[in-house]
Structure 1
Amino acid sequence: MKINLISCAVVLLFSSNVMAAKPITEEEVLAAQAQWAEAIVTIGKAYVAKEDYKAVAKNIVDTLYGYDQGDVLFKPTKAADQQFRLTKEEALSYFVTGSIAEDHGFALQPWTKVRFDTKNIVIDSDSALAMGNYYFTDAKTGNEAKVEFTFGYKRDEKDNLIINLHHSSMPYHPISH
């Protein structure tokens, strides 16, 4: 009987913790997108100012991505030979160069602005997916590059949204015959 009571108490405690998790909201997803956009601009500013941009990028990846919480699926826009970045080090390499030869430091462009045009957000209480286009304004030319995105989010142990899925690709342009 004592073991059954302890088992029930453990199950109830676990269940109450699971149910206590705050559902993700659309506003939180939009705020996470704005935070990511500002982060990309911040890395480029640190690079131009000859600051420790790699430390800035590491802090951003540590804060915004869930590599310390489990698997992250990251497929960057400008990745061909090594298309997928499944580790924190590979993500950093994409943003600021490093361990992967093809990487030129996407965030080092630099960009003056990143804006999201989110087409839809799907929320499933403890996770969220967002899809749409985002636009990167080149600091040198002022030109805007359109890129397609899908982001996935979950909560970390501090209740912050973190990225566990990031797919990015250039829009398809059919070849005319």
Structure 2
Amino acid sequence: MGSTSARTETCKSTSEREIAALFDRWNQSLQTGDPRKVVANYADRSVLLPTVSNTPRLDAAQKLDYFQHFLENKPFGRIDSRTIEIGCTSAVDAGLYTFTFARTGAVVKARYTYTYKWDGSQWLITSHHSSAMPEK
């Protein structure tokens, strides 16, 4: 038999604080008003299941389209509660957040899940699910 080389993955040392800061990075990119800066937070292979659209956004162009419209109302997100789980080169941040829209004054409470993957140089979002709270 030939030799087999086990594929080893080098784990990324991180902390809950570092993972929590990834939401802040994403939220700050919203504040720029530039949808390209928001989309830069997502891995090339990633899925966005957005709060205010029924369409899954699977590629950069689809995400760009969504954020162009989402940013029109000047959103600002605030984490209300969260749970963070850390893996070797992945992390999950799930919980509840509230968006305030400066343009309309609307307030939307939603639940979220972000999954992140370390790409060797930075953490990127591999999936982002956001849905409005079902109960008033």
In the superposition, the TM-score normalised over structure 2's length comes to 0.86
More strand by share: 2
1:118 aligned to 2:81?
A: yes
Match of 1:35 in 2: 25
Deviations 1:22-71 (A, max 9, x none): 2332111111011111111221xxxxxxxxxxxx3213312x1101xxx2
Q: CA RMSD of the aligned region, Å? A: 2.1
Match of 2:62 in 1: 90
Structure 2, unaligned runs of 5 or more: none
Structure 1, unaligned runs of 5 or more: 44-55, 97-104
1:163 aligned to 2:135?
A: no
Match of 2:111 in 1: 148
Describe the SS at the equivalent of 1:66. Answer: strand
More helix by share: 1
Contact 2:50 2:128 in 1 (8 A): yes
For 1:65, give the aligned amino acid.
Answer: Y
For the pair shown, the structure with the greater C-alpha radius of gyration is: 1
Deviations 1:114-137 (A, max 9, x none): 211232111112111111111112
Describe the SS at the equivalent of 2:61. Answer: helix
Q: Give 1:74 deviation, angstroms.
A: 1.2
Describe the SS at the equivalent of 2:43. Answer: coil
Contact 1:24 1:127 in 2 (8 A): no
Counting matched residue pairs gives: 135
1:1-177 to 2 correspondences below 5 Å: 11=5, 15=8, 18-19=9-10, 21-43=11-33, 56-62=34-40, 64-67=41-44, 71-80=45-54, 83-96=55-68, 105-111=69-75, 113-158=76-121, 160-173=122-135
Contact 2:29 2:37 in 1 (8 A): no
In the superposition, the TM-score normalised over structure 1's length comes to 0.68
